[in-house]
Each structure stands twice: as C-alpha cells, then as structure tokens.
Amino acid sequence: MNTQKITAKLKSFYPGRKVIVTDPLNPTEIICEVELTEEHPKWSVAVAVIDSTRLHYHKRLTEIYHIMSGKLNMYLNGQLHQLQQGDIIKIPPNTRHYSIGNETIVYVYATPGWAPEDHVLVIDKKEISRKKYDKRF
C-alpha cells in the first residue's frame, strides 16, 4: 500500500479533513473522515482505502459500504461477500466483519455516527474497544 500517495490524494480531495493510517507500522487501511460524528451525531461519512481490515464489530452503529473502485472480499459473521465497483452492502450492529482488498476505495456511511468506543476489535478471540487499543482516537 502506497501510504504517501494515497494520503496525499485523500488530502487533496478532502482538504482540511483528518486522514488516518490505521496501523503506521503495517498500513493496510487508510481512512479519511469526510463528515464527522461531532458535526452530525446521527451519522458520519468516511472514505476508506482498504488492503485489509481487522476483525471487529460495532455495538450500536450500522455501516453501509459502497465500493467506489476495485474489488473487496467482505466477511460478515464468517460469510464471504465478493464485492466490486458499484456494489453496496449493509453491516448491521453486532456483525463481526473484516475485509480484504487491493487499495479498494470504499465510501462508508455510518448511523449513528462512528465512535471509537463503539468499534470493538476482536484480537485472539478477545474483544477490546478501538478507543482503548488505539490512543489516537
């Protein structure tokens, strides 16, 4: 994943918006927060560039992924969904999910708005909130 190129492109498309490389030591996902929860608590919008995401779920929010470019293998509760440009998939609360792509660009709509304490990572069968795992949030 070319983090510098992707980050620069996202910053040029969405000036002034926060761009997050989810794991700087092993970058597999870059997220641009386009519409923040702080601005609209009932919803948020992000653009994600995905090689892979960690297994996780959300306690409250529903996500809708719209594939803007590329292909994405999305696993919802262990079931594979093969997505391509133009496809849309809804991820209800408490659905364990992760995805694998190749710099796949995804428009992510969340309702209510995304919050780190609602993002629960599943690591070695243990669950930890994103807020406790990643101090940047």
Mean pLDDT of all residues in 86-108: 98
How is domain 34-124 classified at the CATH fold level? Jelly Rolls (2.60.120)
* pTM score of the predicted model: 0.88
Cis peptide before 112 (omega within 30 of 0): yes
pLDDT tens, residue by residue, 24-75: 888 999 999 999 989 989 999 999 999 999 999 999 999 999 999 999 999 9
Cα–Cα distance measured from residue 15 to residue 112, given in angstroms and rounded to the nearest whole number: 24
pLDDT band at 126 (very low <50, low <70, confident <90, very high): low
Cis peptide before 41 (omega within 30 of 0): no
Whether the Cβ atoms of residue 46 and residue 111 lie closer than 8 Å to each other: no
Strand partners, 105: 49, 69
Per-residue pLDDT at 123? 82
Indicate the residue type of 11.
K
Domain ranges of the chain: 34-124
**Burial of 62: CB neighbours in 10 Å, binned 0-12, 13-18, 19+:** middle
First CA to last CA distance, the chain: 23
Backbone angles phi, psi at 21, to 5 degrees: -90, 110
Q: Which residue has the tokens 């927060």?
A: 33
